[in-house]
Amino acid sequence: MKAPRLQVGDEIRVIAPSSSFLRLTDLGVQVAVQKLTDLGFNITFSKHTDEQDILGSSSIMSRVKDLHEAFSDENVKGILTAIGGFNSNELLPYLDFELIKRHPKIFCGYSDITALCNAITTKTKLLTYVGPHFSSFQMDELQPYQTEAFLQATATHAAFDVSASKSWSQDEWYLPEPTRHLFANEWKIYSHAKPVTGTCYGGNLGTFQLLFGTRFLPDLEQAILFVENAEEDDYHDFARGLAALLQVVHHPKALLIGRFPKETETTEERLLAILSKYPLLREIPVIYDMNFGHTQPIFTIPIGDKATVDTAQKKITFF
């Protein structure tokens, strides 16, 4: 089930189902609002944006109420998460999935929001989107690729292709006057195969693992799996997470890996050594250094949607 596409004039509600909204700076909020306003959207904020507890988040009930209100408000057409964090999976047992299903809307965020996106799609069949947070729109350089991909996924009905951006970076772009170091970008092929079509699931691997063994995990057989690591994880975490994932799903259609932040110390040599452990990964399409995760810019992944992976063309076609 696809939510109605975003249109100029639509209201987008910003909620903070993970870390508190107070992690954002006033200047960053102003810049993100202006960029989204320039795209033609009206931006509103949930009621509990100023709440913050000792863990840097807010109460479960505050976050649940804000999410439910955003979905039930008929004026709201899209929902963006403010930022990621570590605890959005706390909300899952308390969510009214029937309410969400009755009021389908665009729901988008990444990192810790992986848990919410995949769980909502599993329980409601509504497509969700692992893509930019509200705070992601304050980025200036490299923003055109990110914005275009977001709008292709959320504001059009047509199928669309995604391929590598010309450049990538991992700088502190959220600072008022960031110094950017741009590098030529290329998606790299670990395993070539003929084009395959499957259903998209995944996102941040550490967060996705939190769904294993729960009623919120989607059926991953024949899925196209997207996985990436955040800065606080290292190559050991990725190796363990991938092993766990391939014990949960035995026949994925493809494995797509987001570019690793430098803090993870996941060198190409280490990554290839990890992938080489699994004969399965020499039989299905596997691409790495892709534009999603914790480097910039990122494209938007429609969770629950069909896609075709073409390693020869180094592109994904979303339907």
The enclosing domain of 193 has a CATH number of 3.50.30.60
Question: Would you say residue 303 lies in a domain?
Answer: yes
SS3 60: helix
How many structural domains are present in the chain? 2
Q: Cα dist. 80→71, 105, 220, 268 in Å?
A: 11, 10, 25, 33
Composition of the chain by helix, strand, coil, percent to 5: 35, 25, 45
Same domain for 36 and 121, yes or no, is yes
pLDDT at 92: 98
Q: Which residues pair with 303 in a beta bridge?
A: 128
Same domain for 112 and 24, yes or no, is yes
Whether the Cβ atoms of residue 46 and residue 71 lie closer than 8 Å to each other: no
Q: Which of the 8 DSSP states describes residue 130?
A: E
Question: Would you say residue 1 lies in a domain?
Answer: no
**Interior CA angle at 16 toward 134 and 206, to 5°?**
90
Say if residue 297 is preceded by a cis peptide, omega within 30 of 0: yes
Question: Would you say residue 32 lies in a domain?
Answer: yes
Question: Would you say residue 259 lies in a domain?
Answer: yes
Of 138, 170, 200, which residue constitutes the final position of a domain?
Answer: 138
User: What phi, psi does 305 have (nearest 5°)?
Assistant: -90, 160
Tokens 């690793």: give the residue: 260
Tens-digit pLDDT profile for the chain (319 aa)?
A: 999 999 999 999 999 999 999 999 999 999 999 999 999 999 999 999 889 999 999 999 999 999 999 999 999 999 999 999 999 999 999 999 999 999 999 999 999 999 999 999 999 999 999 999 999 999 999 999 999 999 999 999 999 999 999 999 999 999 888 899 999 999 999 999 999 999 999 999 999 999 999 999 999 999 999 999 999 999 999 999 999 999 999 999 999 999 999 999 999 999 999 999 999 999 999 999 999 999 999 999 999 999 999 999 999 999 9
The pTM for the full model equals 0.97
pLDDT at 266: 98
Tell me whether residue 242 is exposed, middle or buried, using C-beta atoms within 10 angstroms of its C-beta: 0 to 12, 13 to 18, 19 or more.
Answer: buried
pLDDT at 176: 85
Helix axis angle, 268-275 relative to 235-248, nearest 10°? 20
Whether the Cβ atoms of residue 288 and residue 188 lie closer than 8 Å to each other: yes
Same domain for 232 and 92, yes or no, is no
Of 138, 170, 196, which residue constitutes the final position of a domain?
Answer: 138
Same domain for 131 and 198, yes or no, is no
SS3 310: strand
C-alpha 218/C-alpha 31 separation (Å) is: 36
Question: Would you say residue 272 lies in a domain?
Answer: yes
Same domain for 170 and 124, yes or no, is no
Same domain for 129 and 234, yes or no, is no
Whether the Cβ atoms of residue 43 and residue 93 lie closer than 8 Å to each other: no
How far the first Cα of the chain sits from its last, in Å, is 12
Same domain for 167 and 313, yes or no, is yes
Its domain, for residue 239, covers 162-318
C-alpha 273/C-alpha 275 separation (Å) is: 6
Tokens 């807010």: give the residue: 58
The enclosing domain of 57 has a CATH number of 3.40.50.10740
Query: Minimal CA–CA distance to 128: which of 81, 62, 89?
Result: 81
Same domain for 181 and 310, yes or no, is yes
Same domain for 274 and 166, yes or no, is yes
Whether the Cβ atoms of residue 110 and residue 133 lie closer than 8 Å to each other: yes
Residues in the chain: 319
Catalytic residue positions, numbered: 111, 228, 294
Same domain for 193 and 307, yes or no, is yes
C-alpha 120/C-alpha 294 separation (Å) is: 22
Same domain for 180 and 271, yes or no, is yes
Question: Would you say residue 146 lies in a domain?
Answer: no
Give me the DSSP letters along 273-298: HHHTT-GGGGTS-EEEEES-SSSBS-
Strands 254-258, 223-228: pairing is parallel
Question: Would you say residue 3 lies in a domain?
Answer: no
Tell me whether residue 172 is exposed, middle or buried, using C-beta atoms within 10 angstroms of its C-beta: 0 to 12, 13 to 18, 19 or more.
Answer: exposed
Same domain for 24 and 115, yes or no, is yes
Question: Would you say residue 46 lies in a domain?
Answer: yes
Q: Determine how many CB atoms are found less than 10 A away from the CB of residue 263.
A: 14
Report residue 122 as tokens: 């599993």
Report residue 282 as tokens: 């020499």
